[in-house]
Amino acid sequence: MIPLKRRKVVPSGAGNTGNTGSEESSPNKFPQVILFLLERKMGASRRAFLSQLGRKKGLQVEEMFSERVTHVICENISGDEVVAWLESGVGGRGRSSAHLLDVSWFTESMRAGRPVEVLDRHRLQCLLRQQQMREAEVVGFSAPSYACQRRTTLDNHNAILTDALSLLAENAELSGEDGRGVAFRRATAVLKGLPEPVTAVTQLVGLPCLGGHSLRVVKEVLESGASSEVEATKQSERFKALKVLTAIFGVGVKTAERWMREGIHDLQQLRDSGRTLDRSQRAGLQHYDDLNQPVTRPEADAVAAIVEEALAAVLPGATTTLIGGFRRGKLTGHDVDFLLTHPEEGREVGLMTKVVSWLETQGFLLYQKTTRNSYLEAEDGPARPSSNMDRFDRCLSIFKLPVEVKGEGLNPWRAVRVDLVVSPISQFAFALLGWTGSKLFERELRRWAGHEKAMSLSSHALYDKTQSRYLRASSEEEIFAYLGLEYIPPSERNA
């Protein structure tokens, strides 16, 4: 500390005139600049000398560090030490935005006769502080628990982690372990929604849905670039066979497992076995390569044009809406999904049959299976929430989509999976919400409705159990509002 006799104490409130009250000072010429010279390491006599010099040049130099100080001048001291001293409050409290400057800024200003511009080379380096800030940034991802409370775009910053966890989810699903599958899907969705790449597993502390197993996998991938469990799964004969066989349209896990027990592990063995296949499986095997090649957006648009033509021919006024992954903005999909309706309630009855027969007559269908609507609000609605998911008139089909021929001997068409759903206009908003996906987003919406709101949500209706009544809606926004959720647009439902 400066010996008392030499210390000039500025009474608080002084300096409003822009002057420290020192007898040697010239009038304050630079009101935006208020200096404080740090005595520590600089020494009391040098500080007094420099302060006097500054005031002579018309600069305002404070004796105490305060809110008014804009520039702190230091000598022979590290930025981190200065920060620690300022934060201790020993010399008074000041603004955190004050420049922490080396004495070189001061001497240059003296030479120039005015406060010079603050350049990077004048600033004190606060290495420790920078590191602390970097470390502070490391912790702190947070997210609400339900995927329907989060905005998940297609912009995934953690694809190597989500690929690993998705594969484990897929393996669980292929092994009939649905609970584990959902757990991995939830963990995957949380990581998909993060705004930045994860660099350390410690950043994930406190995030929902990330169990010990998922965290172990994430840690291993972050540290070594791959997960041993994922790699072993990929190599496993069982996983490979299940993937190949269930990739046949019409073949589920149960069928694939039965075939594997009978020694069938690939398409050739299946063909050679002479096994009788049902109609969907025959079509699936026949168009295997086409159906396992992702559908592109232009192809989806081409299918949409055909569906529109069908509607115009069989029921003018009926409308078609692209749903599923393409509505969420995906660039490719495993199929194309459409929701058909008519603005007048009741006019949609019989629409599916007419559309399908038009498509068949025009030669656009390689395969189709239509299921009839059996949804009855009074009987099925609230009591059987999950079983009414597919009770619209629904058609699973394989389109014969004309394509530009790119070489001789190539097919002038390709097989594309297309799903058509018809809903009455009164249920349209629910159908739209229920068929836009993603599958996990839908599952989470229903879980939220049931667990948090005592409501039952399906693709037909929303039932409020507390009020014992159905809630009507004509838009997705209204349904989110009933559920007490912020509206999430389709492009942010990619959980």
Which residues are part of the catalytic machinery? 335, 337, 419
| From 291, 459, 476, 483, residue interacting with ligand CTP (rule: CB under 6 A) | 459
324 binds ligand CTP (CB under 6 A): yes
Count CB atoms within 10 A of the CB of residue 3. Answer: 7
CA distance 148 to 152: 9
- Of 153, 147, 167, 173, nearest to 221 by C-alpha is 167
In whole angstroms, give the CA distance from residue 433 to residue 342.
17
3-state secondary structure 154-213: CCCCCHHHHHHHHHHHHHHHHCCCHHHHHHHHHHHHHHHCCCCCCCCHHHHCCCCCCCHH
Judged by beta carbon, residue 74 or residue 307, the one nearer Mn ion is 307
Q: Among residues 51 and 456, whose Cβ is nearest to ligand CTP?
A: 456
Provide the 3-class DSSP secondary structure of residue 470. Answer: strand
Q: Which two tokens stand for residue 470?
A: 């159905």
Told to check if 490 binds ligand CTP by CB under 6 A, we report no
User: How many residues sit close enough to ligand CTP to count as binding (CB under 6 A)?
Assistant: 18
Q: Which is nearer to Mn ion, 148 or 421 (CB)?
A: 421
Structure tokens belonging to residue 187: 């963990």
Q: Write down the least CB distance from residue 217 to Mn ion, Å.
A: 27
Judged by beta carbon, residue 37 or residue 473, the one nearer ligand CTP is 473
Site string for Mn ion, 330-369 (x = CB under 5 A): ---x-x-x--------------------------------
For residue 211, what are the contacts with CB-CB under 8 A and spacing of at least 6? Answer: 183, 187
Q: Angle, to 10 degrees, between the axis of helix 44-56 and the axis of helix 103-112?
A: 30
Compute the least distance from the CB of residue 299 to ligand CTP, in Å: 12
Task: Provide the minimum distance between the beta carbon of 422 and Mn ion in the complex, in angstroms, as a whole number.
Answer: 15
Residue 181 binding result from ligand CTP, Mn ion, none, given CB thresholds of 5 to 8 Å by partner type: none
Closest listed residue to residue 41, CA positions, set 88, 7, 2, 74: 74
Nearest to 369 by CA among 270, 276, 284: 284
Q: Which residue is nearest to Mn ion (CB)?
A: 324
CA dist 38 and 495 (Å) reads 54
Binding pattern for the stretch 427-456 against ligand CTP, x by CB under 6 A and - elsewhere: -------xxxxxx--x--------------
- Binds 330: which of ligand CTP, Mn ion, none (CB < 5-8 Å by kind): ligand CTP
CB of residue 294 vs ligand CTP: minimum separation in angstroms?
8
Beta strand pairing call for 71-74 and 455-457: unpaired
**DSSP β-ladder status, 336-341 and 455-457:** unpaired
From the list 62, 75, 335, 444, which residue makes contact with ligand CTP (rule: CB under 6 A)? Answer: 335
Question: Binder to ligand CTP among 115, 333, 385, 490 (CB under 6 A)?
Answer: 333
- Residue 390 contacts ligand CTP per CB under 6 A: yes
Q: Pick the closer one to ligand CTP by CB: 72 or 256.
A: 256
Contact in structure between 403 and 414 (CB atoms under 8 Å): yes
Q: How far is the CB of 399 from Mn ion (least distance, A)?
A: 13
Distance CA 452, CA 59 (A): 64
Binding to Mn ion in span 28-47, by CB under 5 A: none
Stretch 302-331: interaction string toward Mn ion, x if CB under 5 A = ----------------------xx------
Q: Which is nearer to ligand CTP, 82 or 340 (CB)?
A: 340
CA angle 335-337-343, nearest 5°?
170
List the interface residues with ligand CTP, window 233-292 (CB under 6 A): none
Shortest distance in whole angstroms from residue 467 CB to ligand CTP: 26
Q: Is 419 in the site for Mn ion (CB under 5 A)?
A: yes
250 near Mn ion, judged by CB under 5 A: no
| Three-state DSSP class for residue 18 | coil
Per the CB < 8 A criterion, the answer to whether 415 and 426 are in contact is no
| 105 or 441: CB nearest ligand CTP | 441
Which residues contact Mn ion (rule: CB under 5 A)?
324-325, 333, 335, 337, 419
Which residues contact ligand CTP (rule: CB under 6 A)?
324-325, 330, 333-335, 337, 389-390, 419, 434-439, 442, 459
